[in-house]
Structure 1
């Protein structure tokens, strides 16, 4: 039996990362929380998560924004099929629409409901643990 499915969470808000990590861990997923787009890209390439949750509003001054990271994920042969959920506030609706155009699998507006996010992830990945 394979271990739990892994979800990468990339958000510059440490409290939101911790909240989402706790909710997903409670649901049985392994979680890889990172603070910025560059860390997220490195983790995606090195650890091959089953799904990525990216904050579209991550500051790009310190690396990659969520949208830039999504574009990189979709342009790279190794990662192009990774399911990606974009998080964003209603004030970034245009960016979220651009994310959908760039290949986001799903979009969730903040403030978000942790249970709803877990349900969306479960629909995309199936149960937290997978038998092989």
Structure 2
């Protein structure tokens, strides 16, 4: 009986240790407004943001904005980060995503190449309205 209890405790402790290690190696999740300069992020990071649209030239490239900016309705100066999605189903406008990957330098600038992308939830976002002309 004592061997069974020790084995069960060992299995539970091992599972808890594996879970903690996975969380530690996931790294910190940062928002779009926290990125700053892409060239300062040389390793794998996780970015969270809201899908705002996709490239007319490459549908696997989407633009994400900060989750707080998704609430802005008029007169917003939103910052967008281009994200190259991995294969599979693409998010839709308003989907809040978590993307893990790295920034890659291209001739036109930087793009975040996601190796893993997960839809967290959906936001109802309105298209940005142009400020009134004076």
Tell me the TM-score normalized by structure 2. Answer: 0.30
Tell me the TM-score normalized by structure 1. Answer: 0.30
* Structure whose CA Rg is larger: 2
Higher-RCO chain (CA-CA 8 Å, sequence separation at least 6): 1
